[in-house]
Structure 1
Amino acid sequence: MKEFTVCYTFDNDIITEKMIKEGDVKKEDVEQEVVEKMERNKYFIVKNDQGNYMIKSYLVRFVRIMNEKILVK
């Protein structure tokens, strides 16, 4: 399993979330999944340590996959 940190940048805020995926998933695959989620939905939910956020897709200015960590079972 791999843990990816996804960073959503807005005009005046940054929100991060952790995504856990199978071991064979690449950073580019996660990035494509996030972009497709934003294109398909007007809103989406981000869950992190600070709580749950309902994000309007059109407010996101930049998406970056910051870290990739391999999790040990």
Structure 2
Amino acid sequence: MKEFVICYTLENDIKRERIIKESTIKKEDVVQEILEKIEQRKFFLAEDSQGDCWVNSSLIRYIRVNEQKRQKINLIHML
């Protein structure tokens, strides 16, 4: 699994969203998915660990997508 952090720079605010995708998904695929979501909806829900927030698509000025490294947990050491 891959974790991506999407940063939406709005006119007067910055919103972040964390999403988890399959390990075969590329950053470019996530960017395309986000762009399609913005084109199709006037408002959408950005989900984050700190809570959900509504984003007005018309206020978005910049989008950044970062891939985060997920730590693998070795269950044998935990036992």
Question: TM-score normalized by structure 2?
Answer: 0.82
Which segments of 5 or more consecutive residues in structure 2 lack a partner in the other structure? Answer: 74-79
Give the greater-gyration-radius structure (CA): 2
Looking at both structures, which has the greater relative contact order when contacts are Cα pairs under 8 Å and sequence separation is at least 6? Answer: 1
Q: Gapped runs of 5+ residues in structure 1?
A: none
Whether the 8 Å CA contact 2:46–2:53 is kept in 1: the answer is: yes
SS in 1 for 2:28: helix
| Paired residue type of 1:53 | C
1:49 deviates by 2.8
| Runs of 4+ off more than 3 Å | 70-73
- 1:21 counterpart residue number: 21
Q: Is contact 2:2–2:67 with CA below 8 Å preserved after alignment?
A: no
Task: Say if 1:42 and 1:34 are closer, same or farther in 2 by CA, change over 3 A.
Answer: same
CA RMSD of aligned residues (A): 1.5
The aligned amino acid for 1:38 is I
Q: Secondary structure at the match of 2:20?
A: strand
Number of aligned positions between the proteins = 73
**Identity of aligned pairs, percent?**
45
